[in-house]
Amino acid sequence: IFELATNEPLFPLGSFGLTAEQIDKEHTYRISQLLDENGQMHENFTKYLTARLPYDFGTENVQHLVSFLSLMLQQNPQRRMPITKLLNHPFLVGERDG
C-alpha cells in the first residue's frame, strides 16, 4: 500500500552484495526508524509519509493512510487488525478530501 501510494518501498534496502544476515540487520534497523519497540508508528512517520505523497493527496487522506498502515504493520500478530475490519477502514471506504 505504501509503495503504491508513494512509488517508493516502505523500507528501502540495497541488498546487492549483502549476506542474508546483513540484510536482516539492515531491515531491522529500517523498521526501527519508523516503528517503536511496541510496534507503534513513530510520530515522525506522518511527516515521512507526507513528504513522499503527491501534493494533492489531502491531509485527511494522509491521516487515514497512516492509521491504515499502522494497523497492518503491527509486529505482534495479535495486535494486527483483521482483514475483515481493515476492509471497512476509512482509508478504503471513506471520502477523500484530495
Instruction: State residue 84's pLDDT score.
Output: 93
57-68 pLDDT per residue, tens: 999 999 999 999
- Would you place residue 36 in the very low, low, confident or very high pLDDT band (cuts 50, 70, 90)? confident
Query: Does position 97 have pLDDT exceeding 70, yes or no?
Result: no
Which set of grid coordinates corresponds to residue 12?
528501502
- Residue ranges of alpha helices (H) inside the chain are 2-6, 20-34, 45-50, 59-72, 83-86, 90-93
Instruction: State residue 79's pLDDT score.
Output: 84
Q: How far apart are CA 46 and CA 44, in angstroms?
A: 5
70-90 pLDDT per residue, tens: 888 887 788 889 999 999 999
Domains of the chain, residue spans: 2-9+16-93
